[in-house]
Structure 1
Amino acid sequence: MATFVQAKIKGDKVVVFLKPTCSYCIMAQDVLSKYKFKPGHFECVDISDRSDMGSMQDYFLELTGARTVPRVFIGEECIGGGSDVAALQKSGKLEGMLKSIGALQ
């Protein structure tokens, strides 16, 4: 499970670990959907059906300081959850972060 998470997190990619019914997950997806990503540089990973979901969230706690979803990674850095993504967009910092890892077209 840790290997699965680490395999998804790459320096030039944005990954959102989420549950589709979670309002903060929807918020993060809505914000990120406004950007044009290069093919293969944006991925949403639904963890809600995984048998190891609980231990995966425990791993997020260890890795990022929180076990809630969404866990949004820009490159190898976790920037937090839905409200964090929205705040970064509002402050104008999000686009620069996405550009800095080369994820945008």
Structure 2
Amino acid sequence: MADTFVNSRVTYGSVTLFVWDGCPCCRNAWELLKGCVRPGHLQQISITGREDVQAYLQRSTGQGTVPYVFIGNQYIGGLSELQNMGAQLRPILQQMGVPLWNISKISDKAGFSG
């Protein structure tokens, strides 16, 4: 059931964050992505209180903390991995069909300036 919940929300052309309510790292990941992913293609799914989903994500990704960040159907990690992607982030977003915007306003920390 948890796998169906997760897999039905992770789709090509979108970025999906599985988060806990009130989590600072989740908020930072959201803020980093919302400036570069076109509205309607970035979704934040709260898994607060969903121990089954949290356990499934931990087993399937090997990561024990939130956020769980998926670009298209590709799991990329959490906030640290997202921040460390640098120049790799833009091509991965494009490869997974994610519409971009405001690229010129994104800091080089997110890998978009240059």
TM-score class normalised by the smaller sequence = 0.7 to 0.9
- What RMSD over aligned residues (CA atoms) do the two structures have, in Å? 1.5
- CA deviation map 1:31-53 (0-9, x unaligned): 1012042x5321111122x4xx1
TM, length-normalised to structure 1: 0.84
Q: Runs (4+) of structure 1 moved beyond 6 Å?
A: none
Q: Deviations over 1:50-77 (max 9, x none)?
A: 4xx1121110112111132100001111
Which ranges in structure 2 are unaligned for 5 or more consecutive residues? 101-114
| 8 Å Cα contact 1:59-1:67 kept in structure 2 | no
Q: How many residues align?
A: 99
Larger Cα-atom Rg: 2
Aligned partners of 2:33, 2:83: CA distance in 1, in Å? 9
- The one of 78, 83, 90 equivalent to 1:81 is 78
Counting aligned pairs with the same residue, the percent is 31
Structure 2 length as normaliser, TM-score? 0.78
**Structure 1 residue ranges without an equivalent (≥5):** none
